[in-house]
Amino acid sequence: MKQYLILSFLLLGLSFCAGGNIKIKLNPDLSGNFSIYQKKIKNKTPSSIGLGSYLSPVSETELILRERTFQFKNITSVLPPGIRFVIYKEQGEDYSTFLITVDTSSLSPLLKTLEINKEEVLALVKEAKTRDDIYRFNNLAEHIQFEIFLPFNVKDVVFAESRTPGDWTARHDGGGKVVVNLPLASFWENEFQQTSIIVKFKE
């Protein structure tokens, strides 16, 4: 009952954004899809539909996944808020470079685009850690995650500048899939003005 009262207080009349995921699917001609996934949790008035005798409705929580998808003709020409993409090949190198640069400052326009609010995220994460059902849904609330699917042979994925392992993740999951996790705490603390991720690949 105590946990229910705390959750009700935190969520009363509010919908909390539980972090944001960005998924990019790239075609060989550099066209593709750009998707934003937003996870939200909202407290609702309990449904009046009964569930049998001696069961009274107490609470109802709605978990929401919203997807917004956009198409592009060339990844290097799109300018989403706080993100830039460059593809180049150094003379004499066998591999090309896909450079992703993200504004990771406290004023990053990416935070506004993903509707991420510091107070709401911290309150939700604190409560979610006491409730296994919500925490499983919300396990990436403290990060912005990029999932990038490249139709190329990926050799390596690294941060251009040194970042704390564990908190910051840049890896190749095989099959051309690249995963990048950027901790929101670093954004809020204004730790780095920008962060670049280098993906080496062969066409």
pLDDT tens figures, 94-127: 999 999 999 999 999 999 988 888 887 777 777 6
Give the pLDDT confidence score for residue 8 in this predicted structure. Answer: 36
Give the pLDDT confidence score for residue 4 in this predicted structure. Answer: 39
pLDDT tens figures, 52-61: 677 777 777 7
Give the pLDDT confidence score for residue 163 in this predicted structure. Answer: 95
Bridge partners of 86, per DSSP, are: 99
Give the pLDDT confidence score for residue 162 in this predicted structure. Answer: 95
Give the pLDDT confidence score for residue 61 in this predicted structure. Answer: 73
All residue ranges of the chain with pLDDT < 50 are 1-18
Give the pLDDT confidence score for residue 184 in this predicted structure. Answer: 93
Residues contacting 50, CB < 8 A, separation 6+: 57
Give the pLDDT confidence score for residue 9 in this predicted structure. Answer: 34
Give the pLDDT confidence score for residue 55 in this predicted structure. Answer: 77
Location of structure tokens 């993100």? 83
Give the pLDDT confidence score for residue 1 in this predicted structure. Answer: 42
Give the pLDDT confidence score for residue 66 in this predicted structure. Answer: 83
Show the tokens assigned to 122.
């911290």
